[in-house]
């Protein structure tokens, strides 16, 4: 169904843009209602025929992907859910993508959160992603959920030197020492990669200043699009990479699909799905800017 839809919609939009181009070459301005019509098509068609584009990862996302991909199997990755339900629709796709990638590479995943609301979101991720898609993974050996601890940067301060000072047990109360994956784990410094997801306070910035920098541990970030510009200055020196908004998640999902085609054949890709109409709309806006300038230059030359 979606392939036919793809052809039809592409045909409509390309033909329309061509017609607009000819109009502009003749120096006629496109009527604003035509532009509105194009926007309506550009957004609703990909929704109806769920068209999506393979997103090629930008450097800031690819660095994170390469880091997790090249870590030796069994490396220890800490994933921190630092966001609430209102930001969840924008950052959940990326936190699930991180989980899938770490588990498919056989890494050990340590889940925790600095936001109280993160705890229930982490729990749903464990059920919907790990338990359903990776039944072979064993709790306490391959992954653990440490849950929420109040104190924000104070928590980071403590676990930077000793996990057990802050977390004596995991979220369900089992003692850390009874879990094989905690043998020899003394502090954050024993982690191979830290990932913080969330754009508020405490968030990625606090993880950089209070954990990654003092402990010299590599850190990757994930945040809502609106807070990405505030985190860009930390890349690349204090942060190996950053996923910004739905676009970052879509790029990561397409990398996962491209490099692990069989394992992730029918993996849900909310990021890529959402980016379908976004990309189409952006391309139409870009086309209008180009056409607008053409008709301007032609009318100026005609004017002279």
Between residues 26 and 165, which has the closer beta carbon with respect to other proteins?
165
Binding part of the chain for other proteins, among 103-111, 133-141, 175-183, 227-235 by CB under 8 A, reads 227-235
- Cα→Cα distances 266→57, 197, 246, 277, Å: 20, 25, 19, 21
Binding mask 240-279 for other proteins (x = CB under 8 A): -----xxx--------------------------x--xxx
CB of 21 to other proteins, least distance (A): 13
Under rule CB under 8 A, residue 18 binds other proteins: no
Task: Determine the Cα–Cα distance for residues 237 and 154; give it in Å rounded to an integer.
Answer: 24
How many residues comprise the chain? 304
For the chain, report the end-to-end CA distance as a whole number of angstroms: 51
Give the pair of three-digit tokens for residue 182.
């905690």
Under rule CB under 8 A, residue 19 binds other proteins: no
CB of 38 to other proteins, least distance (A): 7
Helix axes 245-259 and 88-104, enclosed angle (nearest 10): 20
CB of 76 to other proteins, least distance (A): 21
CB of 293 to other proteins, least distance (A): 6
Task: Determine the Cα–Cα distance for residues 14 and 57; give it in Å rounded to an integer.
Answer: 26
Under rule CB under 8 A, residue 86 binds other proteins: no
Helix axes 2-25 and 32-48, enclosed angle (nearest 10): 170
Q: Which of 47, 116, 138, 141 binds other proteins (CB under 8 A)?
A: 47
Q: Which of 179, 213, 235, 258 binds other proteins (CB under 8 A)?
A: 235
Binding part of the chain for other proteins, among 101-109, 110-118, 122-130, 229-237 by CB under 8 A, reads 229-237
Under rule CB under 8 A, residue 8 binds other proteins: no
Between residues 41 and 123, which has the closer beta carbon with respect to other proteins?
41
Which residue is associated with the tokens 């929420």? 148
Give the binding-site size for other proteins (rule: CB under 8 A): 56
Q: Which of 39, 179, 267, 298 binds other proteins (CB under 8 A)?
A: 39
Under rule CB under 8 A, residue 232 binds other proteins: yes
Q: Which of 12, 21, 169, 281 binds other proteins (CB under 8 A)?
A: 281
Binding interface with other proteins (CB under 8 A): 30, 32-33, 35-36, 38-40, 43-44, 47-48, 50, 53-60, 154, 157-158, 161-162, 165, 225-226, 228-229, 232-233, 235-237, 245-247, 274, 277-279, 281-286, 288-289, 291-293, 296-297
């Amino acid at each position: 169904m979606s392939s036919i839809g793809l052809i039809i919609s592409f045909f409509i939009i390309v033909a329309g843009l061509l017609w607009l181009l000819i109009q502009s070459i003749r120096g006629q301005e496109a009527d604003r209602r035509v532009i509105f019509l194009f926007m309506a098509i550009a957004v609703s068609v990909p929704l109806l025929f769920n068209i999506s584009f393979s997103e090629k990862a930008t450097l800031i996302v690819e660095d994170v992907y390469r880091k997790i991909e090249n870590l030796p199997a069994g490396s220890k990755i800490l994933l921190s859910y630092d966001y609430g339900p209102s930001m969840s629709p924008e950052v959940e796709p990326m936190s699930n993508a991180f989980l899938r990638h770490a588990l498919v590479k056989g890494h050990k995943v340590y889940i925790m959160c600095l936001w109280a609301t993160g705890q229930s979101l982490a729990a749903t991720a464990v059920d919907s992603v790990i338990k359903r898609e990776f039944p072979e993974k064993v709790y306490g050996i391959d992954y653990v959920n440490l849950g929420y601890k109040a104190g924000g940067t104070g928590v980071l301060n403590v676990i930077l030197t000793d996990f057990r000072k802050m977390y004596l047990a995991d979220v369900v109360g089992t003692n850390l020492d009874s879990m094989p994956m905690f043998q020899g784990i003394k502090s954050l410094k024993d982690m191979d990669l830290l990932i913080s997801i969330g754009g508020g306070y405490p968030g990625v910035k606090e993880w950089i200043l209070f954990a990654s920098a003092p402990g010299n541990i590599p850190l990757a970030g994930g945040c809502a699009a609106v807070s990405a510009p505030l985190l860009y200055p930390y890349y690349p020196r204090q942060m190996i990479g950053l996923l910004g908004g739905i676009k970052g998640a879509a790029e990561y999902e397409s990398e996962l699909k491209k490099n692990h085609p069989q394992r992730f054949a029918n993996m849900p890709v909310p990021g890529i799905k959402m980016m379908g109409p976004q990309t189409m709309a952006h391309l139409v806006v870009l086309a209008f800017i180009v056409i607008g300038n053409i008709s301007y230059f032609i009318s100026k030359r005609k004017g002279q």
